Amino acid sequence: MTLKPTLPNSSDDRSQCCQAGNSRSLERQLYGEPLVSARAIRASRWSVTGLLPSRKTGRMTPFESTLERDFATLLEFSPEVASYESQPLRLPFEAASGRRTVGYPDFLVKFHPGYGPSMLVDTKFRTEIRKRWRALKPRFKAAMKLARERGWIYRIRTERNIRTTYLRNARFLLPYLRCAPDPAHEEILMERLNGLGVTTVAELLHACAPDEWSGAILIPTLWCLVGRRNIATTLDEPIGLKSVIWDPPVL
């Protein structure tokens, strides 16, 4: 799966997310049904919690850290991902102390056919793993065992896997995916791109419009097509007007 941002400051996080204390009432207002999770995420004094709107699940996705929020953003943007659930199941296991306890993996990811089995995922900061390895290891082993029994795979994702250029591009493009592209603008862009072959965003806009103002009208549809992968580019590099783009082959 191609699931490829600088640490956000806490004030920005608080302004961008809904507090989990109101999550259930907000969920019912928006979708008329409760969250699909094995455990309700509540407001916390120690981490950023909130809800992320999801087009793939048709409901709000709860998160209890900025790392979970960022990983959910990648899932939302990935074309390989069909759907996903936050806090999907209870995981009984024996802690390092010998005491029986319960954990909750962060995500269960389901892929479109041809992209492999479902994936159970925990997101952790590298510093937390290093500091709490003895306590976390039994839970990780139990999650791996459960995933194997169910025909899934298990992965631990850290900020090194998540907070990348790909995530910055996903954050930029996702808002453009919330609306359908203008059919007339799409026809203009794709016809001209097909004639140009490999080009740049700026060159395509220049070829489609007589001036900058006319070109600006095409930008929302252009970025929507990039986000949909109807226009191809390298998403592991920062995208902008100088980005190289091309018409992807039909598979």
Residue keyed to tokens 């094995």: 38
Average pLDDT over residues 57-76: 93
What is the spatial distance between Cα 155 and Cα 247, in angstroms, rounded to a whole number?
Answer: 33
| Structure token pair of residue 232 | 């191809």
Residue 46 confidence (pLDDT) above 80 = no
Residue 232 confidence (pLDDT) above 90 = yes
- Looking only at the bridges linking them, the beta strands covering 81-86 and 107-111 are antiparallel
Identity of residue 205: L
User: What value does the mean pLDDT of the chain take?
Assistant: 85
Identity of residue 49: T
What is the spatial distance between Cα 67 and Cα 162, in angstroms, rounded to a whole number?
Answer: 8
Cβ contacts of residue 72 below 8 Å, gap of 6+? Answer: 52, 54, 61, 63, 84, 86, 107
Eight-class DSSP state of 6? -
pLDDT digits (tens, 9 = 90+) for 132-172: 999 999 999 999 999 999 999 999 999 999 999 999 999 99
What is the spatial distance between Cα 32 and Cα 98, in angstroms, rounded to a whole number?
Answer: 42
- Band (pLDDT 50/70/90 cuts) for residue 1 is very low
pLDDT, greater one: 47 or 138? 138
CA angle 178, 182, 185 (to 5 degrees): 135
Dihedral pair phi/psi, residue 13, rounded to 5°: -60, -45
**Which pLDDT does position 168 carry in this prediction?**
98
| Structure token pair of residue 128 | 């937390």
Residue keyed to tokens 């993996």: 105
What is the spatial distance between Cα 48 and Cα 179, in angstroms, rounded to a whole number?
Answer: 28
Q: Are 65 and 123 in contact (CB under 8 A)?
A: yes
Cβ contacts of residue 139 below 8 Å, gap of 6+? Answer: 91, 93, 95, 103, 122
pLDDT digits (tens, 9 = 90+) for 170-223: 999 999 998 889 999 999 999 999 999 999 999 999 999 988 888 999 999 999
What pTM was computed for the model?
A: 0.79
What is the spatial distance between Cα 92 and Cα 115, in angstroms, rounded to a whole number?
Answer: 29
Which segment of 15-19, 38-42, 116-120, 210-214 scores lowest on mean pLDDT?
Answer: 15-19
Residue 72 confidence (pLDDT) above 70 = yes
Residue keyed to tokens 């390092």: 96
What is the spatial distance between Cα 114 and Cα 116, in angstroms, rounded to a whole number?
Answer: 6
**Which pLDDT does position 99 carry in this prediction?**
94
